[in-house]
Amino acid sequence: MPRNVLISGANRGIGLEFVRQLLARGEHVVGACRHPGKATSLNALAGEYPGRLHVLPLDVAEAKSRASLVHDLPLVLGDAGRIDLLVNNAGVLHSGERFGHVEQATLEDSLRTNAVGPFLLAQALAPLLADGGRIANISSQLGSIGNTARFGTPSYDISKAAQNMASVLLARALEERGIVVLALHPGWVQTEMGGANAQVAPADAVAGLLRVIDAATPGQSGRFLDWRGESLPW
């Protein structure tokens, strides 16, 4: 039976590739993004897969926008419809930060988008998640405290470390319902965020992430894994 999957930041990069691969294998997809009217590639996919891709607005950092999405989902899933997989993919990286010049606005924006938003979205969607379903929080190895060797992108790194804690707490909160929550590093991926030197094609990163998500057992809930299924240190 096709599953229902909700993906944030679905208009480009890794999120758009998730949409492509999930549609290709027959799932029902809700692609959420900030500006559906400008999401050319996503809307083209909606045309190719009529009735299987719904595009809804979501700014994950905004409480009102999250609430509207939660309100609108039953309209596209049906009242009895449940989400089998939530991919908290939307994220922001502010580059060019230097110690001594890190700004509150940048830190707060990173935390809102990368940690606060995904956590509160998952919390608000919990009643709509299928028992035994999955939450994939797209994290980054840059959020690994144990692996931190440089002062590079502090707002991003702090926010992804916070998101990792949120993933573990969600795993504990939802384990009674058999919902598996994973913090996932996609590799260094060729997207706008990953930049020109990135090593992994989005198609390979997402194929790997889907393998890890599909294979995950309840015993793995709350773990930090990369796109090849390797554990990362917190």
Task: Between 107 and 130, name the residue whose CB sits nearer to ligand NDP.
Answer: 107
How many Cβ atoms sit within 10 Å of the Cβ of residue 98?
9
Taking the complex as a whole, the smallest distance from the CB of residue 33 to ligand NDP amounts, in Å, to 6
Taking the complex as a whole, the smallest distance from the CB of residue 90 to ligand NDP amounts, in Å, to 3
Task: Between 35 and 101, name the residue whose CB sits nearer to ligand NDP.
Answer: 35
Taking the complex as a whole, the smallest distance from the CB of residue 30 to ligand NDP amounts, in Å, to 13
- Unique residue bearing structure tokens 């999955």: 134
Taking the complex as a whole, the smallest distance from the CB of residue 177 to ligand NDP amounts, in Å, to 25
Task: Between 181 and 189, name the residue whose CB sits nearer to ligand NDP.
Answer: 189
Task: Between 71 and 177, name the residue whose CB sits nearer to ligand NDP.
Answer: 71
Taking the complex as a whole, the smallest distance from the CB of residue 80 to ligand NDP amounts, in Å, to 27
Q: Which residues bind ligand NDP (CB under 6 A)?
A: 8-9, 11-15, 33-35, 58-61, 89-92, 113, 138, 140, 185-186, 188-189, 191-194, 198
Residues in the chain: 234
Task: Between 192 and 214, name the residue whose CB sits nearer to ligand NDP.
Answer: 192
